Amino acid sequence: MALLDIVTWPAPVLDTPGDPVTEFDERLKQLVNNMFETMYAAPGVGLAAVQVGVAKRLFVMDCSGGKDPEQRLVLINPEVLAIEGNQNGEEGCLSFPGIFTPVERSLRAVVRAQDLNGNEFEVDGMELTARCMLHETDHCDGIVFLDKMSSIKRELVKRKIRKLQKTGKWN
């Protein structure tokens, strides 16, 4: 296993929808293993392939931070089937190190995806699980959490990032 480099915004790959995964082979398994390793090391609860510079539709997540094996999930070619309700909570992103800001999301999300063997399954998640699945599925669609903020908040965050860039504290 190997740690992968996480790309930070505004890398173009983060703004580009990923390509569907069509090959469920050893290389994919290896990528997923490395993504888990990278996510746990960061540490984070979700990581999409575009965030390690791979323009494909898949992500890994574990809202338990490695404590509960059942929460270790890989979703390949994810598709949001249904959403319900609202939640507002602090959100971060490994491609925006140090930025945490409230983002409104659905309270519940049902997402259909394929596993490492190409078999379809569904995850019906609430609260943090829903937030994480929606955030990561957005990554697969070339959308970052900045795009989900109010325009005022977005400008504040961009200004903060510009300041960090100027002082060499970004990337």
Angstrom distances, CA of residue 156 to CA of 72, 98, 151, 160: 34, 14, 9, 6
Residue 130 CB contacts under 8 Å (≥ 6 apart), including other chains:
83, 87, 105, 106, 107, 108, 109
**From the CB of 4, what's the least distance to Ni ion, in Å?**
14
3-class DSSP string for 20-50: CCCCCCHHHHHHHHHHHHHHHHCCCCEEEHH
CB of 94 to Ni ion, least distance (A): 6
Q: Is residue 47 a contact residue for Ni ion (CB under 5 A)? A: no
Token pair of 3 as six digits: 């740690």
d(CA 84, CA 56): 27
| 63/93 with CB nearer Ni ion | 93
Residue nearest to Ni ion (CB): 93
Among 28, 93, 109, 111, binds Ni ion (CB under 5 A): 93
- Which of these is catalytic: 79, 104, 136, 155? 136
Shortest reach from residue 26's CB to Ni ion, in Å: 27
88 vs 119 by CB, closer to Ni ion: 88
Find the shortest distance in angstroms from Cβ 62 to Ni ion. Answer: 14
Residue 39 or 93: the one with the smaller Cβ distance to Ni ion is: 93
The continuous run of DSSP H or E covering 160 comes out as: helix 151-166
Closer residue to Ni ion in complex, CB, 24/141: 141
Evaluate whether 142 touches 50 at the Cβ level (below 8 Å). yes
Catalytic (active site) residue 122: no
Binding site for Ni ion (CB under 5 A): 93
Instruction: List, by residue number, the catalytic residues.
Output: 136
